[in-house]
Structure 1
Amino acid sequence: MATLIPPPSKRQKREAQQPREVDIIPTDLPNVLIKFQASDTGESVGGSVRVPGAITEKQLEELLNQLNGSVDEPVPYTFSLQNGADLIDIKENLYTSILKPGIKTTEDFMTLVYTPRAVFRVKPVTRSSATITGHGSTILAAQFAPNTSGKMVTGAGDSTARIWDCNTQTIQQTLNGHKNWVLCVCWSPQGDVIATGSMDATIKLWDSKTGKELGTLSGHGKWISSLSWEPMHMVKPGDKPRLVSGSKDGTIKVWDTAIRRCQMTMSGHSSSVSCVKWGGMGLIYSASHDKTVRVWDAKDGKCTQILKSHAHWVNHLALSTDHVLRMGSFDHTGEQPKSPEEEQIKAQKNYDKVAKVGGKLVERLVSASDDFTMFLWEPSKSNKPVARMTGHQKLVNHVSFSPDGRYVASASFDNSIKLWDGRDGKFVATFRGHVAPVYQTSWSSDCRLLVSCSKDTTLKVWDVKTRKLLSDLPGHADEVYAVDWSVDGKRVASGGKDKTVRIWTH
């Protein structure tokens, strides 16, 4: 069923009645002295430059491309002012963003930090291109391959996982073997192996091409709640990446997938583990119903930090590097590296591009809880939160960083999605439109769009820049539990209670 946007609130009506203040830029505004600095390396470009005080974002882009010698093939950029430890985004022009609010004056020297935007543009999905049946029960998890939108895997309550060919819109393989619900699916960063976690307390590994079972990982006492692969840039060329699993039994296990044995068990949580993430700096993060997040050393399994701040269960975690870790050595073109060495080098290059801020590696973490709040952390620096993020009126079920790490999207049972600044945790906007709890969100690779799925049977696509609903996607006959946007941006997949997989395209 299609859902209607709720009527405007009192505040929205009040704002609509008030005349909008138009920014009148003074005609006698003097020039200002700036320098450009790369966000990843911290290196300056072209020395100091004197520019008009009302220079626009587009003019800054043109100037930087000239200084970089990229006039023939201009690169799109976003700009922020380095103000002490803070970064303040420049929107529209320098005057309205910096000078008018009094952050800087025309006499101050300004360092503008620039970040390349995605060089390709993802088109918003607007229609259901296929409805594929096959599962005999509720679909609980869905994920595209890291290198193509042509293949995806789903896990369901019928004890099977299925690999789908999205080009022919058919089942490619049915992965039979689990004895209970398949709760989580996870594609390896190389794209050759799929891991599935089940309510039967086992993890199974599958060949993604043939659908053949490669082995069973047994050892957990209760069901598997979460899976995460070792990042590609941390795997020695020729080796198989390890896998980490979290379970209802309260433990985290690291598995050697080559010999299919448990390498180490990390104990410490006093209740079930809800989410695990393998970060790109040699750390494993786990969230639990014991209200804590733990940080573990991936080499020896020692707990290095306990992050305590939540007052209720921690439901989900997101890393600022999630998207690039999922892609491994691939990019939006899906090109296959020619050797294991090239694979590792390319994965490292991809990771550094996203994780380096001012020449230093930074990996931020967001935790979402049943206490209606989220916390932003930088565990490599401190066990104290960077920010407490409040505003949701019910539990926060899912949280995700934009691929460039600039924003965080949170999905809540209060029927809303909220957008936050991924660097300081400040509130940015609320997306309203769903009329029932929101289960998940997924970002487009160019960070411009966000898709959400809900109990109200719909998906919705949101424009991050305008903060508005772009597409309402009805079609499912019941609650939609899982959604994923392919890395190449061509397709969105969804699944839920009506047992069908839907593929959405532009």
Structure 2
Amino acid sequence: MSKIQVNKLHTLTGHNDCIYALAEGPDPRFFYTGAGDGMVVEWDLDKPKDGKLVAKLPHSVYALAVDRLRNWLIIGHNFEGIHVIDLQENKEIWSLKLTDQAIFHITVLGDEILVGTGDGVLTVVDIQSQAVRKHIKLSSKSIRVMDVALKKMHLAIGLSDHTVKILDLSEDFKPIANLTGHSNSVFALSFSPDEELLISGARDAHLKFWETNSYTQKENIIAHMYAINYLSFREDGAYFVTCSMDKSIKVWDTQQQKLLKVIDKARNAGHGTSINKVIWSTYSQDVISVSDDRTISIWNLEL
């Protein structure tokens, strides 16, 4: 493994339950967390110790998304629907009751909000009318994660039926491909910044690399001991990080599909329990992680 230097810059506290959701703000200096305590908190990378409460909901928050165009934060409120926060005004401007299911992932695309729920339904919300445009039933199992390739106009969806489904956004969510091979729920999914590659990670602890012209599998790696919960590319696409139920963060070389560094409790005073989300900040180039241990860690990687 390479000589990457890992420096833990901050451990942030304030949540009273497992932290499940993490999103970079429209201004990437800020990021947002959501937890089992129903709290949504804004954090400032320039003054990370000063968390600011954005919302307090009666149920767990598993999903957050940002609308960069409108400077909004979309909160997935489990068993209810979505709440839309104007970050400039720091207040809720509208909400929509959608479901009695858990909301695992939200993506904003132009004038639409895409909501993936525990019953395998993709709900498309029209922002202008603040109403549901359509429901797309993809599976009897949960939609866990989504990512968009904007140039290709492809939507990738990871599900608990062990598949990754690819839909064509330019043709009103027409199915393109159904990717199989994982043996358990797909929790982690991301297109590379150049959109040439799609990486999926699952509860089976495997990473799969798919080239996106034909969606054929290029590589399969047993990457962690337990479930891979999330993955995030560095802005330039050269590296990506994964996080796992095995309490570790791993740093990978994208082109070589090679493990470069393990960040964990023993070596780096890492998280003590499952790490649920990780993002590679486009503001500071630091890595941010959130965990069942109720803390947020900020990591500087010298690559």
TM-score (norm 2): 0.83
State the one-letter code of the partner of 1:460.
K
User: Is the partner of 1:503 in helix, strand or coil?
Assistant: strand
User: Is the partner of 1:206 in helix, strand or coil?
Assistant: strand
1:252 equivalent to 2:120? Answer: no
User: Is the partner of 2:14 in helix, strand or coil?
Assistant: coil
1:218 corresponds in structure 2 to 96
1:498 corresponds in structure 2 to 293
User: Could you say which structure has the larger radius of gyration?
Assistant: 1
- Say whether the 8 Å CA contact 2:40–2:56 is kept in structure 1: no
User: Is the partner of 2:62 in helix, strand or coil?
Assistant: strand
Q: Which runs of 5+ in 1 are unaligned?
A: 6-123, 232-240, 270-287, 291-311, 322-354, 356-361
1:317 equivalent to 2:146? Answer: yes
Structure-1 separation of matches of 2:163 and 2:99: 30
Residue by residue, what CA displacement relative to the aligned partner does 1:351-410 show, whole Å, maximum 9, x if unpaired?
xxxx2xxxxxx3233333334343445464795645x54443333222211111010111
* Distance apart, 1:193 and its partner CA: 2.1
1:144 corresponds in structure 2 to 24
1:168 corresponds in structure 2 to 47
More helix by share: 1
Which of 230, 233, 242 pairs up with 1:440?
A: 230
Task: Identify which range, 469-478 or 215-224, moves more after superposition.
Answer: 215-224
Structure-1 separation of matches of 2:169 and 2:122: 20
State the one-letter code of the partner of 2:17.
S
1:406 equivalent to 2:196? Answer: yes
Which of 443, 458, 481 pairs up with 2:276?
A: 481
Structure-2 separation of matches of 1:481 and 1:142: 9
* Distance apart, 1:196 and its partner CA: 1.1
* Distance apart, 1:154 and its partner CA: 0.4
Q: 1:265 to 1:248 in 2, by over 3 A?
A: farther
Which of 6, 11, 24 pairs up with 1:131?
A: 11
State the one-letter code of the partner of 2:130.
C
Which of 51, 73, 77 pairs up with 1:198?
A: 77
Which of 428, 432, 444 pairs up with 2:218?
A: 428
User: Is the partner of 2:256 in helix, strand or coil?
Assistant: coil
2:242 corresponds in structure 1 to 452
Which of 358, 362, 365 pairs up with 2:155?
A: 365
1:289 equivalent to 2:160? Answer: no
Residue by residue, what CA displacement relative to the aligned partner does 1:100-119 show, whole Å, maximum 9, x if unpaired?
xxxxxxxxxxxxxxxxxxxx
1:263 equivalent to 2:140? Answer: no
State the one-letter code of the partner of 2:41.
R
Residue by residue, what CA displacement relative to the aligned partner does 1:66-87 show, whole Å, maximum 9, x if unpaired?
xxxxxxxxxxxxxxxxxxxxxx
State the one-letter code of the partner of 2:131.
Q
Structure-1 separation of matches of 2:295 and 2:215: 36
Residue by residue, what CA displacement relative to the aligned partner does 1:150-197 show, whole Å, maximum 9, x if unpaired?
210000011110001122222331123311112211122137321212
Structure-2 separation of matches of 1:385 and 1:494: 33
Q: 1:370 to 1:206 in 2, by over 3 A?
A: closer
Q: 1:417 to 1:126 in 2, by over 3 A?
A: farther
Structure-2 separation of matches of 1:384 and 1:202: 25
User: Is the partner of 1:169 in helix, strand or coil?
Assistant: strand
- Say whether the 8 Å CA contact 1:125–1:471 is kept in structure 2: no
State the one-letter code of the partner of 1:289.
S
State the one-letter code of the partner of 1:423.
N
Q: 1:369 to 1:222 in 2, by over 3 A?
A: closer
- Say whether the 8 Å CA contact 1:431–1:468 is kept in structure 2: no
Q: 1:446 to 1:251 in 2, by over 3 A?
A: closer
Q: Determine what percentage of the aligned residue pairs are the same residue.
A: 22
User: Is the partner of 2:146 in helix, strand or coil?
Assistant: strand
- Say whether the 8 Å CA contact 2:25–2:66 is kept in structure 1: yes
Q: 1:412 to 1:213 in 2, by over 3 A?
A: same
Structure-2 separation of matches of 1:459 and 1:267: 35
1:116 corresponds in structure 2 to none
Q: 1:417 to 1:127 in 2, by over 3 A?
A: farther
TM-score (norm 1): 0.52
User: Is the partner of 1:126 in helix, strand or coil?
Assistant: strand
Structure-1 separation of matches of 2:277 and 2:49: 19
1:184 equivalent to 2:55? Answer: no
State the one-letter code of the partner of 2:55.
N
1:472 equivalent to 2:259? Answer: no
More strand by share: 2
Structure-2 separation of matches of 1:315 and 1:227: 10
- Say whether the 8 Å CA contact 2:83–2:94 is kept in structure 1: yes
**CA RMSD across the alignment:** 2.9
Q: 1:505 to 1:412 in 2, by over 3 A?
A: same
- Say whether the 8 Å CA contact 1:179–1:200 is kept in structure 2: no
User: Is the partner of 1:319 in helix, strand or coil?
Assistant: strand
Structure-1 separation of matches of 2:184 and 2:131: 39
Structure-2 separation of matches of 1:378 and 1:504: 36
